[in-house]
Structure 1
Amino acid sequence: RIRASLKNSSKKLTSAQRVEFSKIFTNENTKRETLQKEIKEFLRKSLTEEAFAQLKKEIAAHREQAGNRMAEAVKALPEAHERLYAILKDASLDSKQIGERVKALLKSLPKDVTLALFKLRSLFAHLPAKKPSQQTDEPVKV
């Protein structure tokens, strides 16, 4: 088992890790049982640190990508809200037509804008509806 894990893991080691790994074998006083324990401990430590470093890089890239997507969604949100409000307040439409037009609107919008609309709706559902053009920067009194 150790030999197989060494073969697979040694390809991923950096030069500093390889030097540290070779020191385990150069110690003549190490017995077989302690050698196996040292190898397992080294592999666990080195591969875990490498995995965490890789995870940090992936998380940073994901955050940057998500931030860029949300910035674009925030820019498109006012127009999407105006269009949605116009559909919902059109008195000539019945509920079925409203539903169809809202579905068509949501399909035409980017996914992030649609998600932001639903999130805003859930956050402000308790407030009275206002046209986007009537909204001000004043705090809402509840």
Structure 2
Amino acid sequence: MNFRAAKSDAMLALKLEIKKQLKAFNDDTIHDEDTLATLQHRCMKVAKHMMGKLGTDTNVEAPLFLKWGCQTFVDNSCYINRDVSIYDIAPVITGDKVLIAPSVKSCTDTPASLAFPVAVVQKSKTSLDNTLLTRRSGSLNI
């Protein structure tokens, strides 16, 4: 039997839904009545539905890419800058007060049976153009 969970109807429906939500999140349309606060509120409302957890006082900038979204957990008072990509085959956990710079990539994108979580610990910063990868022997804590 050749069972591929990623090709199941439920997973394909989830993938389509996350693509729709990412399109809405990354939409840079600004209407005449919009303010910075309303734009941020609109984006964060979409982000909250895309991710497994999105803490309070957290801001996520567009553009953003998520593989599945449901495996991404962001705690309180975090800032995720533009052009961040999260390949969340395994959990990607971001602690309180974490700052993520532009163009950071968090990759757990291996066969699911080999994927280990990435955890970015509290009050840490990831630098420009960093790539966070899992190790084969266990989770990666930064």
Q: Please state which band the TM-score falls in when normalised by the shorter chain.
A: under 0.3
Higher relative contact order (CA 8 A, sep 6+): 1
* Larger strand fraction of residues: 2
- Give the TM-score normalised by structure 1: 0.28
More helix by share: 1
* Bigger Rg, structure 1 or 2: 1
Question: Normalized against structure 2, the TM-score is what?
Answer: 0.28
